[in-house]
Structure 1
Amino acid sequence: MTAFDLAPTLESPALRLRPLAASDRDALHAAASDPGTWAGHPARDRHLRAAFDPYFDVLLKAGGTLAVIDRASNRIIGASRFYVPPDRPESIAIGFTFLDRAHWGGAVNREMKRLMLAHAFQTFPEVWFHIAPTNLRSRRATAKLGALHDHDAVLDLAGMPAEWTCWRLTRAAWEANDDAARAVPAR
């Protein structure tokens, strides 16, 4: 794989994304504690501490996970992760993303993805997203970025093989879909 910083600090006027730290456990759980956040997700009980703590441990151990911080409140409002896709080791993927429901509705997710995609597209010509087949909310949000469903696969992304819908976003598709993307320097 090309040299790539899996755990950068990325900032916009509204958000700061920085590497997840062990000391973020309670703050990230607070962001994840609304059962509605996980209602359409395969891990519907992740709002419970007993289900959240193993998830947090996986994110921390895997690396590439970024805490998403609302700069106005200086509060952690979610997380997202860069990782190398097991079926596309020459590429990069973004996933394991969630936001506190108070920040749903597009603007925060789009800004978070702009920051992450700008970073990724400095090194890679495409970015992959792996989404559980039943997670319709994430599938719709990913399609809004300009990504296209490419294929389905059984992949081990977090210690257990599972079925995923695999979405591919090229730099050209992102630029065509998002004016802010055009500000990213070509490489």
Structure 2
Amino acid sequence: MKVTLHELIGEHIRVVPMDKSHIEGLYEAANDENIWAHLPKTIRTLHNMEAFVEEALQAKESGAEFPFVIIHRETGKIVGTTRFLYMSSASKSLEIGWTWFHPSVWGTSVNTECKYLLLQYCFEQLNTIRVQFKTDERNIRSQKAIERLGAVKEGILRNQMIRKDGTFRNSVFYSIIDSDWPSVKQHLEQRLQLTYTGCDKGGVQPCRPGI
């Protein structure tokens, strides 16, 4: 699956392909332990971030993944990252994952706008028929965020991964398919309009318009 985008621009964010120039900005955005509670690794040092970016770019070079950084348009600062994984031209499908944001933008429109831009690109440019998400069964915040997108919960795969502490992880799988996209798109546009003009009442935390 060939991804050839330069950037996706929303009201408050830009979604930009990751490169090595983003290392320091990502490191600054990663300086909160709460980010790493349910992720496969923890980044604590600049060297850790350099390795994280290098691995992501190697996966991009091989065609396996396509990593992005999310930049807040007003401040110009990196506030998080996400990527396409398990990209399959044959199946016309991919996964959006490895998403994390600095807690300063949790509960704002940032994740919704990011996923809206990526999903729009997937279904309207790449012509995918399935986009999937997965998260740790223990990660309730992530599950709620995915469900607010309008994704369908498909089930739980038991012992799907081994956590960094050695415990076995059950993963919750969700998907949005091509026939879902028109209604999901409308739903996300309505949610984003609320955040631009006031507050999304469905949010886990109060919205902060303009973030």
Per the shorter chain, which TM-score range?
0.7 to 0.9
The letter of the residue matching 1:152 is: I
Candidates 49, 55, 59, aligned match of 1:58: 55
Other structure's SS at 1:74 match: coil
Question: Which residue is equivalent to 2:83?
Answer: 81
> CA, structure 1 residues 163+90, in 2 after alignment: closer, same or farther (shift >3 Å)?
farther
Matched residue, 1:174: 184
State the Cα RMSD in Å: 2.9
Structure 1: stretches of 5+ with no match in the other structure? 157-161, 182-187
2:33 matched residue in structure 1: 35
**Identity rate, percent:** 24
Question: Contact conserved, 1:93 with 1:127, CA < 8 A, in 2?
Answer: yes
Of the two, which has the highest radius of gyration? 2
1:148: which partner in 2?
Answer: 152
| Partner SS state of residue 121, structure 1 | helix
d(CA) in 1 for partners of 2:4, 2:31: 26
**Superposition deviation, residue 176 in structure 1:** 5.5
Q: Hey, what does 1:24 align to over in structure 2? A: 22
SS in 2 for 1:84: strand
Code of the aligned partner of 1:17: V
Partner Cα distance (2:183, 2:8) in 1: 22
Distance 1:140 1:124, change over 3 A: same
Give the C-alpha shift of residue 49 in structure 1.
Answer: 4.3
Whether the 8 Å contact between 2:19 and 2:57 is mirrored in structure 1 is yes
- State the 1:125 CA deviation: 2.8
Deviations 1:145-166 (A, max 9, x none): 011221334379xxxxx75322
Tell me the equivalent position of 1:137: 141
Equivalent pair of 2:26/2:49 in contact (CA under 8 Å): no
Query: Is the aligned partner of 1:164 residue 2:171?
Result: yes
The amino acid of 1:174's aligned partner reads V
Q: Equivalents in 2 of 1:120, 1:180: separation in Å? A: 20
Output the CA distance in 1 between the equivalents of 2:3 and 2:87: 15
1:167, 1:103 → 2: CA distance?
23
* d(CA) in 2 for partners of 1:126, 1:91: 5
Question: Which position in structure 2 is the counterpart of 1:185?
Answer: none
By how many angstroms is 1:46 displaced?
2.8
Is this contact kept in 2: 1:155–1:164, CA < 8 A?
yes
Quote the residue 1:184 is aligned against.
none
Alignment-mate amino acid for residue 136 of structure 1: I
Mapped partners of 2:140, 2:113: distance in 1:
20
1:159 corresponds to: none
> Are 1:85 and 1:128, in contact at CA under 8 Å, matched by a contact in 2?
no
Distance 1:62 1:44, change over 3 A: closer
The 5 A counterparts of 1:67-106 are 67-84=69-86, 89-106=91-108
